[in-house]
Amino acid sequence: MKLLLQFASGPLTLLILYLLPYDAPSSEGRIALAIFGWMVMWWMTQPVPWAITAMMPLLLFPGFQLMTIGNTVSLYGQNIFFWVMGTILMGYAMQRHGLAKRFALWFLSWRAVGGNTYRLVFGFMLVTALVSIFISNAATVAMMMPVGISLVSFVRVITGTSPSKKSSLGAMMALGALYGAVAGGTASMMGTPYNALSVDLLQTLTGRTFGFFHWMGAGVPIFLVTLVTFYFVLRLFFRPEITSIPGGEEFIRGEREKLGNLTPGERSTLFVFLVMVFLFTLPSLIDLTLGPEHSLAKWADTALPIWIVPPTILLLLFSVPVNWRKAEFVLTWREAVEHAPWNIMLLCTGAVAVTSTLVQFGFVDFAKTLVAGMGLGQYSLPFVSSILVALGTNFLSGTAATALFGTILIPASQQIGFNPASMAMLIPNVATGIMLPWAGATAGTAFATGEVEMKNMIRVGAVATLVFALLIAGIHTLLAPLL
């Protein structure tokens, strides 16, 4: 019965949206919006995988005579597909060869971090956030949790606590990894796949481009303020069993020493990572040194847009050798097939495809008029949007939430005079559910450690979500004129 209701939710949503008495921009726009509603409902209830739902326009657009199958297929040629694939596989390569773990243990072995419980928790959150700037949130939590759990186990041995007993320190580490990853994901366009999705929506809906450094100009301050705020939320709710950890520094250094010298795989992965950073930053560096009107700067802006970097990284991941004699490279295609996020890649592509159709049939002007009629202004819209997305993403995937809310709120912000680029950042900033264990892979991974009780995750998560949403809205209200 449940599965039947899940399947029925999509067609019913389409029917309701099609029959509702509202002033649609056109009959085609009404149909396109109804199809998008069906897709969003199935992304929520998941009777079929996200990727399958994302391909529904291939059936429904020709079926409703919105466009031919050839034109529909052409909608799926999106930059976002290769962006997600390239950045996620770069993150997997850093995990696969141990480079990310080496970086984490190197930071945690600092004397200023290891000996005190509160410093250790903050240091753990900070290093999780720094890793999450370049690796997806879920992958970062999955990588960092074994490090955090080993630290908690070490403290349990010192204090004589039973391994089966939940501890405040364990809860702080589990939620600290979750909150730290979310904070780090706001810092760069690589932090989560839906950061890039929102930038793509911005370009589709308003024609405005948004560069890597543009994002980080606001993203880094947001990341730092958010991280500190999350840390104090955890301190408010949890009091660790001990504040001083005898031998804590030595334990972390011992774990780091076990890694030994850089392996060939780590060196090759580091080379690809540095090339990626260089390509992302090169156009901006040329602009700063030679000026935007210089011929070389103009060439770099045209030849090296941010969307070219991930395909370049894919090429390097499969061609930079780890062992020449054995013809081993940083990644194999088998690993790519197993670890590429096909579900998310197709979800992003399908969402952008439908968004392009909505733009074509006048939905942007319709959304502007709709939100303008609600009486929201430049100062109220960011707060309403932030709370709405932060709560909604506990029931929607971050990608689906970004696609849904971005399609409406980005053009609406432009209509009322709020910087649409700031709104395009705000939405994915808060689009990671942290309140419910089933809110997504990131939250689920943290809860699966068994270190935090569900009631505590929901209780602390509710406060963290509200504070986070208000904080993000406030920062964007201040920074919007500068973006």
- Sequence-separated (6 or more) residues with CB below 8 Å from residue 145: 174, 177, 445, 446, 449
Task: Considering only CA atoms, give the Rg of the chain.
Answer: 23
Residue 400 contacts residue 348 (beta carbons within 8 Å)? no
Nearest to residue 227, comparing CAs of 239, 219, 237, 238?
219
The number of beta carbons lying within 10 Å of the beta carbon of residue 276 is: 21
323 exposed, middle or buried (CB, 10 Å; 0-12, 13-18, 19+)? exposed
Element containing residue 357 per DSSP (H, E): helix 342-360
Query: What is the pLDDT at residue 118?
Result: 86
Q: What is the mean pLDDT of each run of 10 residues along the chain (483 residues)?
A: 89 91 78 88 85 91 92 81 80 81 72 73 89 79 74 70 71 91 90 85 86 85 95 91 68 78 91 84 77 80 80 93 90 89 80 79 69 74 90 76 86 88 94 79 75 85 94 93 83
Pairing of strands 328-329, 321-323: antiparallel
Nearest to residue 152, comparing CAs of 451, 447, 442, 461?
451
CA–CA separation, 209 vs 455, rounded Å? 43
Nearest to residue 128, comparing CAs of 446, 453, 455?
446
CA–CA separation, 298 vs 303, rounded Å? 9
Task: Report CA dihedral (11, 16, 17, 23) to the nearest 10 degrees.
Answer: 150
CA–CA separation, 372 vs 352, rounded Å? 24
Q: Which amino acid is at 254?
A: G
